[in-house]
Amino acid sequence: MRLANRKTSEEDKLIFGFLQLPPALKSLNFCCYVIGASASFFGTWMTQIALVWLVYQLTNSPLLVGISGFTNQASSLVLTPLAGVLLDRWNLRRVLLTTQIISILLSLTLTFLTVSSKITVEAIIVIGILQGTVKAFDLPARQVLIPRIVERKGDTYSAIAFHSLMINTAKFVSPMVAGLVIARSGSGSCFLIDSVSYLSLIFALIVIKINPVPHKSSTQKAQILKNLKEGFIYAYEFIPIKTVLILLSLVCFMAMTHVNLMPIFAKEILSGNAETMGFLLTASAFGSLTAGLYLVQRQRVTGLGKIMARSTAFLGLALIVFSQSTRLEICLIIIFLIGLSMTLTLASISNFVQLVIVEEDKRGRLTSLFTMGFLGILPIGNLFFGGLANQIGVTNALVFGGTFCVIGSYFFARQLPTLRKIVYPIYEKMGLIPPSYEG
């Protein structure tokens, strides 16, 4: 079985030109889930874009844009590690059904307040805190679920990569749609679309089969703080996970925060409006989609470290070039490259973390640490760069973030030989590479 997926890979793939159907898509169980999840992500991205534009429209303040971004995700920094412990114990189906229902209620509240012209920055901040609390449980639960809905262990990489591709597809479509919807009918329509989008995932969660995972005794289950400490110790002592989580934190803090600066850049540098912001974010998302397609078609687990190092360096350079551009046509090309390189980095890290987790009873905790690095660091970055852009301008803030990405990629690249020595035996054990592989 260990090498079966490699030996029969050509038989399992369907060719459409240069595209190949990922092995995970042979599972109707996985297909049902990923379609529902990507539809809900479409609505989520529309809401995120609409909120950023709405705050800037209400306040005309880069600092308040940063503060709203901070409050929307700050609770994840505190709650996500605890959520990871609980996800290793709780029923994932019930957790995700609960988070979808709460998300619908929050989006409907935003819709009502916006349409009735009662929306305020204070209301956005309060709802943002509640949304961040939901995300602390929702996003790691989605990641933990993927290895438990595929039939074959060897299809795990394919499933993770395709899930990332579908998320980026939603990310590609939503900015363009959001920009047009905001310009024509206001942010409230985006919030309403978001409310409806969660229904698709609710339906998928009801019908899919989730493979059970053996749990430890109730005595051990009761020790929440001990379990939490175990997760942190494991991540700290296991060099591959510790190294990529540091890179993840750097990219989220220094680079991913550029999304919150887009309404400022579109209005102040390009003299545009909501549609201009939508075009910029669509171009970035198209880059993300391209990166997702590449990772799905790779069908190899080796070489992810090189992709992380190179794409982080390229991301930093692209941010610097983008900051100096004042023509929309050039900005669209550069931000496409930013979306491409950022997704290559983040998706590769996500795939890598899921693949090297060998202790299934710790998957929730370790996945939550990834989510904490993603969602927990991001709000701090939003707050920092909102203030930085307010003091030195959005152009210089982008240069600052890009420079640190280039520096970080250099130090990460120096760790790659050590990482390969540790993770290749894990890949061999899982049947993802042949014995004594040296590629």
CA dist 410 and 235 (Å) reads 22
What DSSP state is assigned to residue 327? S
CA dist 356 and 432 (Å) reads 11
CA dist 135 and 24 (Å) reads 26
CA dist 47 and 191 (Å) reads 6
Q: Where are the alpha helices (DSSP H) in 146-273?
A: 156-185, 187-207, 218-221, 224-237, 239-254, 258-264
pLDDT band at 334 (very low <50, low <70, confident <90, very high): very high
Does the pLDDT of residue 112 top 60, yes or no? yes
* Encoded amino acid at 85, one letter: V
> Do 379 and 77 touch, CB atoms closer than 8 A?
yes
CA dist 284 and 260 (Å) reads 13
For 15, list phi and psi in degrees, rounded to 5.
Answer: -100, 130
Within a domain: 113: yes
Within a domain: 180: yes
pLDDT at residue 68 in the model: 74
> Do 253 and 358 touch, CB atoms closer than 8 A?
no
Within a domain: 14: no
Tokens of 342: 């950022």
Q: Give Dmax (Cα) for the chain.
A: 65
Instruction: Please state, in angstroms and as integers, the Cα–Cα distance from residue 35 to each residue in 43, 164, 196, 415, following that order.
Output: 13, 12, 14, 37
Does the pLDDT of residue 167 top 60, yes or no? yes
The total domain count for the chain is 1
Within a domain: 220: no
pLDDT at residue 105 in the model: 95
Does the pLDDT of residue 83 top 80, yes or no? no
pLDDT at residue 312 in the model: 95
> Do 147 and 213 touch, CB atoms closer than 8 A?
no
Q: Give CA 369 to chain center in angstroms.
A: 13
CA dist 142 and 84 (Å) reads 12
* Overall average pLDDT of the 252-270 stretch: 79
Burial of 184 (0-12, 13-18, 19+ CB in 10 A): exposed
pLDDT at residue 17 in the model: 41
Give the Cβ contact number of residue 324 at 10 Å: 12
Does the pLDDT of residue 219 top 90, yes or no? no
pLDDT band at 21 (very low <50, low <70, confident <90, very high): low
SS3 409: helix
SS3 328: helix
What DSSP state is assigned to residue 20? E
> Do 427 and 303 touch, CB atoms closer than 8 A?
no
Residues ≥6 apart with Cβ < 8 Å to 364: 83, 84, 85, 86, 87, 88, 140, 141, 144
For 21, list phi and psi in degrees, rounded to 5.
Answer: -70, 120
Helix (H) or strand (E) holding 323: helix 304-323
Does the pLDDT of residue 371 top 60, yes or no? yes
The enclosing domain of 336 has a CATH number of 1.20.1250.20
Does the pLDDT of residue 199 top 90, yes or no? yes
pLDDT at residue 16 in the model: 40
* Encoded amino acid at 186, one letter: G
For 16, list phi and psi in degrees, rounded to 5.
Answer: -125, 85
SS3 16: strand
Within a domain: 5: no
Give the Cβ contact number of residue 17 at 10 Å: 5
Report the mean per-residue pLDDT for the chain: 79
For 60, list phi and psi in degrees, rounded to 5.
Answer: 60, 30
Closest CA to 2 of 438, 433, 437, 439: 433
List the end-to-end C-alpha distance of the chain, in Å, as a whole number.
22
Within a domain: 388: yes
Within a domain: 136: yes
How do residues 404-416 score in pLDDT, each as one tens digit?
999 999 999 999 9
How many distinct helices (H) and strands (E) make up the chain?
19, 2
Domain, as residue range, for 355: 20-210+226-430
pLDDT band at 295 (very low <50, low <70, confident <90, very high): confident
Does the predicted TM-score (pTM) go above 0.95?
Answer: no
How do residues 44-69 score in pLDDT, each as one tens digit?
888 887 887 788 788 877 677 767 76
Q: What DSSP assignment string belongs to 33-49?
A: HHHHHHHHHHHHHHHHH
pLDDT band at 159 (very low <50, low <70, confident <90, very high): confident
SS3 19: strand
CA dist 325 and 287 (Å) reads 18
pLDDT at residue 1 in the model: 38
